[in-house]
Structure 1
Amino acid sequence: MTDQHQDDQATAYTFVARWMHWAMAVLICLALKFGFVMDDQSGTELASSLARHSSAGLLVLGFAILRVFWRLGYPPSQLPKTVSKLQALAAWAVHLALYGFMLGVPLTGIYAAAAHDLAVLSFWMFDLREGVQFLGVDNFETRRSVHTFAMDAFLVFLILHIGGALVHQFYFKDDVLRRMTGRKKAGQSTGNEVRQKF
Structure 2
Amino acid sequence: METINTHRDRYSAVAIVLHWLIAIALIVNWRLAEAAEHLEGPAAAVYMNPHKALGITVLVLTVLRIVWRLVNPPPPMDPNYATWERMLAKFVHAVFYILMIAIPVLGWLATSSYGFGVDFFGLFQVPALPVANDPDAGKWVIGLHKTLWTPMMILIGLHILGALKHQFFDKNGELGRMIPGLGRR
The TM-score, its normalising length taken from structure 2, stands at: 0.86
**Structure 1 counterpart of 2:38, from 37, 40, 53:** 40
**Structure 2 counterpart of 1:134, from 126, 131, 134:** 131
TM-superposed deviation, 1:29: 0.9
Question: Which structure has the higher relative contact order (CA within 8 Å, separation 6+)?
Answer: 1
**Structure 2 counterpart of 1:16, from 3, 14, 23:** 14
**Structure 1 counterpart of 2:82, from 75, 79, 84:** 84
TM-superposed deviation, 1:82: 2.3
Inter-CA distance 114–131: structure 2 relative to 1 (3 Å threshold): closer
- 3-state secondary structure, aligned to 1:121: strand
**Residue 196 of structure 1 corresponds to which residue in structure 2?**
none
TM-superposed deviation, 1:122: 3.1
TM-superposed deviation, 1:118: 7.9
Deviations 1:8-54 (A, max 9, x none): x6211111111111111111111111122222111211111111101
Q: Which segment drifts farther, 48-57 or 33-42?
A: 33-42
**Residue 60 of structure 1 corresponds to which residue in structure 2?**
58
Q: Mark the runs of 5 or more structure 2 residues left unpaired by the alignment.
A: 1-6
TM-superposed deviation, 1:179: 0.5
Q: Distance in 1 between matches of 2:150 and 2:62?
A: 18
- 3-state secondary structure, aligned to 2:8: helix
**Structure 2 counterpart of 1:99, from 93, 97, 100:** 97
**Residue 170 of structure 2 corresponds to which residue in structure 1?**
172
**Residue 152 of structure 1 corresponds to which residue in structure 2?**
150
**Residue 109 of structure 2 corresponds to which residue in structure 1?**
111
Q: Distance in 2 between matches of 1:76 and 1:154?
A: 22
Q: Distance in 2 between matches of 1:11 and 1:52?
A: 36
In 1, are the aligned partners of 2:113 and 2:134 still within 8 Å (CA)?
Answer: yes
The count of aligned residue pairs is 177
**Residue 184 of structure 1 corresponds to which residue in structure 2?**
183
- 3-state secondary structure, aligned to 1:78: coil
Q: Distance in 2 between matches of 1:106 and 1:175?
A: 33
Give the % identical residues: 25
Cα RMSD (Å): 2.0
The TM-score, its normalising length taken from structure 1, stands at: 0.81
- 3-state secondary structure, aligned to 1:136: coil
